[in-house]
Amino acid sequence: MKVIPLNCNHCGAPLEVAANARFVTCGFCDARLSIQHTGNSYSTEVLEDLRATTDQIARDIKEIKSSTAIERLDKQWEHQRFNHMVTDKHGGQHLPSKGGAVFGGGLIVAFGLFWTIMAFGITSAGRMAGAPGVIGIFPVFGLIFIAAGVFNMFRIVKKADAYQHEQSNYLRERRRLLEQSERERSSS
């Protein structure tokens, strides 16, 4: 069996180790050593140093995984958030709000009521003056405006509720991931 001379990496004491050995314990300081074979040269490294380095790498990997999970959640939320956007009449996009839905729908309903009242007045006067019966269709447009305003109001309120629900889920999950990351960091 071939024996190689080495020095303990911890205390510097001379060691004689079998050439095919991977680990050895120093007879002087009881340090556990790893034997490193690099080409024709041999060296020792204290296993505790390797363990500390390995533990640090494991902590770093956990932190990277945690931050990656948060980044993935943030990107997923941006996509979901974009899907909740509503488009206004000028093509601009914004998040739905209940107040905006009630205000916008209320304006449309108010216009529909105004139109209906005005159209009834005009068509009544027109019929008295002998206008054709087809003018009686104009008040129906006001009713269509009212129906569209109410429908739009409920549609946007429903979207606002869905957005708020999704946002609270996102914030809860993000908070959980941050707390988990903080616990892992403090336990390290």
- Tokens at residue 17, please? 């180790």
φ and ψ at residue 77, rounded to 5 degrees? -65, -40
- Tokens at residue 84, please? 């909740």
**Closest-CA residue to 50 (of 65, 35, 37, 61):** 35
> pLDDT value at position 127?
78
Asked if pLDDT for residue 58 goes beyond 70, the answer is yes
> pLDDT value at position 46?
59
Residues in Cβ contact with 67 at an 8 Å cutoff, skipping those fewer than 6 apart: 181
- Tokens at residue 175, please? 């908070």
CB atoms within 10 A of CB 164: 15
Q: Where are the alpha helices (DSSP H) in 7-137?
A: 47-84, 98-128
Asked whether the beta carbons of 94 and 88 are under 8 A apart, the reply is: yes
Kindly report the pTM of this predicted structure.
0.56
Tell me the pLDDT tens digit for each residue of 164-177: 999 999 999 999 98
Contacts 24+ apart (CB under 8 A), 164-171: 166/80, 166/81, 166/84, 167/81, 170/73, 170/77, 170/80
Mean of pLDDT values over 107-122: 93
> pLDDT value at position 61?
77
Tell me the pLDDT tens digit for each residue of 81-95: 998 888 877 888 888
Average per-residue pLDDT in the chain? Answer: 84
Mean of pLDDT values over 37-58: 67
Q: Coil, strand or helix: which one is 178?
A: helix
What letter represents residue 139's amino acid? P
Asked whether the beta carbons of 73 and 170 are under 8 A apart, the reply is: yes
Give me the percent of the chain exceeding a pLDDT of 70.
91
List beta partners, residue 25. 32
Bridge-based pairing of strands 23-25 and 14-18 is unpaired
